[in-house]
Amino acid sequence: MTEKICYILDHYEKKTSRHFGYIYNFIQELGKKYDVYVIVERCFGELPEFKNVRKTSIQKVNFPVIRRFELFFLILYYRILGCKIYYNHYSYYGAILSGLITRIGGGKSYFWHCIVIEKFMANVHKTPLSKYIFKTRLKFACRFVTHLAIGSDIMGEHYKKVLGLNKLKPVILPNWTDLEMFSRNNFNREKLKEKFGYKSDDKVIFFLHGMEKGKGPQYLPEIVRRIASNRNDVKFLFAGEGSMRKKIEKEIKDMGYSALVNFPGLVPHFNIPEYYAVSDIFIMPSLFEAFSRCLLEAMAMELPFVSTDGGCGGTYAYTPKEQHPFIITIDEMDNFPSLVLKILDDDNLELSSINRNFVQDFTIDRAIKRFEEKVLS
């Protein structure tokens, strides 16, 4: 008998610039082998049209309290249909309610949640009340589900420590990337450099994230200044949108380096590969990053990178040891530009091929297999 799975998404956005595109593809691949039902809490723009999915339900009620009842009855409805596995992707109330239903009616509930909790709260939640509500809701979700789904052992221990949940049962399900979509073989770099307005011998340094404090764009002006003052062949490609973008652009302009920096803004996920392909180094100065798909994409595109440790050391869990000398803590950010320069100056590091080989273990096929072993077995 085919396993029935209910996949709960906290939102759907077809033209997303975030990692959710991976989740949509995963659901469709999973639906080739199993009976998959989807609940979408919020939908932005076009309605979802998942292939290989038995049924998709989108919440319609807007009033908060009634929305919880609506979600409860949708989860209960799929339990009556025979779903014994509930997998919640960042859906807090989905985790709480599916956890409650599976505890009473049998089955298993999983809650994917993978962030550096304290640093996320410090940079995203501005008031003590907001921080308290977030942490309390997260604790409830983790307590109600049968398992927390997390990206690495490091992050599993982080959740136990910060939330004080010693009995938490983490299931390790690493992120993945698309090695066909993210492949340099798909591109002619000379033509791409012409398209982006770069010279053939320009060295392009690429940043891709939201322009919000937690993602580290505040460090970009100093990174530009120190690298550009040491080399005359560098260009900077800073993709992303957010509240800090205008401030960052102004700081770089005031330093006299605006001609070296391109700010393309928000880039749809399906256009991102060419940005990696035209680049030579990827940088991630994020204050909190538990399991960055951007780093997986960069490695797939054969880019060496300089990165923070994600705030609690999580970056080490999914990167090759040869890259670890180029991973630093936030307290060591003064060293960030010099590490970029070291990669630019040393053609013998061989990080490009090392990264591409390493990321072979982070494909959607491996992700499906891990899901089957950890969730469906």
Q: Are residues 204 and 271 in the same domain?
A: yes
Q: Are residues 355 and 249 in the same domain?
A: yes
**Cα 356 versus chain centre, distance:** 19
95-149, pLDDT tens digit by residue? 999 999 999 999 999 999 999 999 889 888 889 999 999 999 999 999 999 999 9
Q: Are residues 266 and 303 in the same domain?
A: yes
The CATH number of residue 235's host domain is: 3.40.50.2000
Q: Are residues 332 and 193 in the same domain?
A: yes
**CA angle at 122 for the pair 121 and 127, rounded to the nearest 5°:** 80
pLDDT score, position 29: 96
115-127, pLDDT tens digit by residue? 999 988 988 888 9
* Region 360-365 average pLDDT: 96
pTM of the model: 0.91
Q: Identify the residue with better confidence: 75 or 165.
A: 75
Domain membership of residue 10 as a residue range: 4-176+363-376
Task: Give Dmax (Cα) for the chain.
Answer: 66
Q: Are residues 246 and 219 in the same domain?
A: yes
Q: Are residues 10 and 128 in the same domain?
A: yes
Q: Are residues 128 and 208 in the same domain?
A: no
Q: Does 304 have pLDDT greater than 90?
A: yes
Q: Report the distance separating Cα 312 and Cα 371, nearest Å.
A: 25
Nearest 10 degrees: Cα torsion 101, 105, 108, 110: 0
The residue type of 295 is L
Number of structural domains the chain divides into: 2
Q: Are residues 148 and 217 in the same domain?
A: no
Q: Are residues 372 and 352 in the same domain?
A: no
242-273, pLDDT tens digit by residue? 999 999 999 999 999 999 999 999 888 889 99
2-35, pLDDT tens digit by residue? 899 999 999 998 877 667 889 999 999 999 999 9
41-76: buried (b, 16+ CB within 10 Å) or exposed (e) per residue? bebeeeebebeebbebbeeeeeeeeebeebbbebbb
pLDDT score, position 245: 95
| 271-276 contacts at long range (C-beta below 8 A, 24 or more positions apart) | 272/208, 272/239, 272/297, 273/181, 273/182, 273/183, 273/186, 273/187, 273/297, 273/301, 274/187, 274/192, 274/195, 275/206, 275/208, 275/237, 275/239, 276/182, 276/206, 276/301, 276/303
Half-sphere exposure of 318 (CA within 13 A, CB side): 33
Q: Are residues 44 and 24 in the same domain?
A: yes
Q: Do 143 and 337 touch, CB atoms closer than 8 A?
A: no
* Region 152-156 average pLDDT: 93
Q: Report the distance separating Cα 306 and Cα 294, nearest Å.
A: 12
Q: Are residues 11 and 72 in the same domain?
A: yes
Q: Are residues 12 and 143 in the same domain?
A: yes
